[in-house]
Amino acid sequence: MTTLSSPTKESGVAVPRGPRPGEPNGRRRLLRAIKPGPTADAGGAALYRRWWLPWLWMAPAIIGVTVFGVYPFLNTLLLSFTDAKPLGGAASFVGLDNYTRLLGDSDFWLATRNSVLYALIVVPLMVLLPLVLAVLVEKNLPGIGFFRSAFYTPVLASSVVVGLSWQWLLSDQGLVNTWLQKAHIIREAIPFLSDSWLILFSAMGLTLWKGLGWYMIFYLAALGNVPKELHEAAAVDGAGAIRRFWHVTMPGVRTSMLLVGTLTGIGSLRVFTEIYMLGGATGGPGGADRTLPFYIRDVALDPLTGNAGYGSAVSVALFVLTLGLTLLAQRLTKEDEA
Partner 1 sequence: MTTAVAKRRFVPRWRDYGRPRELIVRYLLLLFILGITIGPLVWQLLSSLKGVGEDVFGARASLIPREPTLNAYRQVFDQVPVWTYIRNSTIVVVLSVGSQLLFSTLAGYMLSKPSWRGRKLVWVLLMASMMFPFESIMVSLFLSIRDLGLVDNLAGVWLPGFVAAINVLIMRAAFLAVPREIEDAAMLDGAGEWKRFRYLYLPSAWGAILVVTINTFISAWDDFLWPLIVLRTEDHFTLTLGLARLQSSSFGYDQRLVMAGSVISVIPVLVLFVITQRWFYKGVSSGAVKL
Residues 62-81 contacting partner 1, CB under 8 A: 62, 64-73, 75-76, 79
Please tell me whether residue 327 binds partner 1 under the rule CB under 8 A. Answer: no
Least distance (Å) from partner 1 to the CB of residue 247? 18
With contacts defined by CB under 8 A, name the span among 95-103, 106-114, 195-203, 295-303 that binds partner 1.
295-303
Dihedrals φ, ψ of 143, to 5°?
80, 5
Residue 129 vs 230, nearer CB to partner 1: 129
Q: Are 135 and 241 in contact (CB under 8 A)?
A: no
Task: Give DSSP secondary structure letters for 184-216.
Answer: TS-SSPP-TTTSHHHHHHHHHHHHHHHHHHHHH
Least distance (Å) from partner 1 to the CB of residue 281? 7
Q: Are 149 and 238 in contact (CB under 8 A)?
A: no
Q: Length of the chain, please?
A: 338
Please tell me whether residue 147 binds partner 1 under the rule CB under 8 A. Answer: yes
Least distance (Å) from partner 1 to the CB of residue 107? 17
Please tell me whether residue 218 binds partner 1 under the rule CB under 8 A. Answer: yes
* Of 63, 90, 125, 86, residue with least CA distance to 268: 125
Residue 15 vs 338, nearer CB to partner 1: 15
SS3 per residue for 5-72: CCCCCCCCCCCCCCCCCCCCCHHHHHHHHHCCCEEECCCCCEEECCCCHHHHHHHHHHHHHHHHHHHH
Please tell me whether residue 328 binds partner 1 under the rule CB under 8 A. Answer: no
Among 102, 131, 134, 174, binds partner 1 (CB under 8 A): 174
- Please work out the total of residues on this chain that contact partner 1, with binding judged by CB under 8 A: 126
Among 33, 95, 106, 153, binds partner 1 (CB under 8 A): 153
Give the burial class of 309: count Cβ atoms within 10 A of its Cβ; 0-12 exposed, 13-18 middle, 19 or more buried: buried
Residue 16 vs 95, nearer CB to partner 1: 16
With contacts defined by CB under 8 A, name the span among 86-94, 226-234, 245-253, 329-337 that binds partner 1.
86-94
Among 120, 150, 186, 327, binds partner 1 (CB under 8 A): 150
Among 264, 278, 279, 288, binds partner 1 (CB under 8 A): 264
Least distance (Å) from partner 1 to the CB of residue 231? 12
Least distance (Å) from partner 1 to the CB of residue 188? 14
Please tell me whether residue 88 binds partner 1 under the rule CB under 8 A. Answer: yes
Least distance (Å) from partner 1 to the CB of residue 337? 19
Please tell me whether residue 127 binds partner 1 under the rule CB under 8 A. Answer: no
Q: Are 321 and 267 in contact (CB under 8 A)?
A: no
Relative orientation angle of helices 106-138 and 254-269, to the nearest 10 degrees: 150
Among 120, 186, 233, 323, binds partner 1 (CB under 8 A): 323
> Strand, coil or helix: what is 270?
coil
* Of 64, 63, 72, residue with least CA distance to 316: 72
Residue 40's DSSP bridge partners are 46
> Strand, coil or helix: what is 73?
helix
Among 110, 131, 162, 203, binds partner 1 (CB under 8 A): 162
